[in-house]
Amino acid sequence: MNKHKQIKLAFKIVGFVCLGVGLILVLIGFVLLEKYSGTYDPLPLFWFDLIGIPLIGIGVGALRYGFKRGVMEYIEKESAPVINEAAKDMTPAIKTVVTAVREGMAEEDGMTCSCGTENRKESKFCKTCGKPLMQTCPKCGASIPIDSAFCEQCGEKV
């Protein structure tokens, strides 16, 4: 058996022993407390509760470490189908948002004519007034926006 499995087994054993002993001590302490309540007799074995309660905490803590992998695997198997189903339900909404963002970005990348009309980026003429939106560089012949002072390809002054 590898070291990791030995440690997990030790946590489980210690956890169950501490939890069992702690519960027994607390039970005895509470029974005695109930038996002697209302009397002025000294409470015998009152320290059972003082030892039992921390033992319960130690036992629960050790069991949490001993069974952690099993619990996490269970949670994963229970959660994954729910997450997948939620993703399927949200896919149309996400696609709608992505489409809206793309359209918004496409509008931002468009060209504005001197008449104020927003045109698509690839437009060569204004859709409202018909004025040219592109010009040809005299040096390299590249197509550049009409409002450019320099060619984006070769840097020539237009």
The predicted pLDDT at position 66 comes to 93
Q: What percent of the chain has pLDDT over 70?
A: 94
| Distance, CA of 115 to chain centre | 48
The predicted pLDDT at position 103 comes to 73
Q: Residues of the chain whose pLDDT is less than 70?
A: 1, 42-43, 104-109
Can you state the angle between helices 47-66 and 3-36, rounded to 10 degrees? Answer: 150
65-81 pLDDT tens trace: 999 988 899 988 989 89
Predicted structure pTM score: 0.47
The predicted pLDDT at position 105 comes to 63
24-50 pLDDT tens trace: 999 998 888 777 777 777 667 778 888
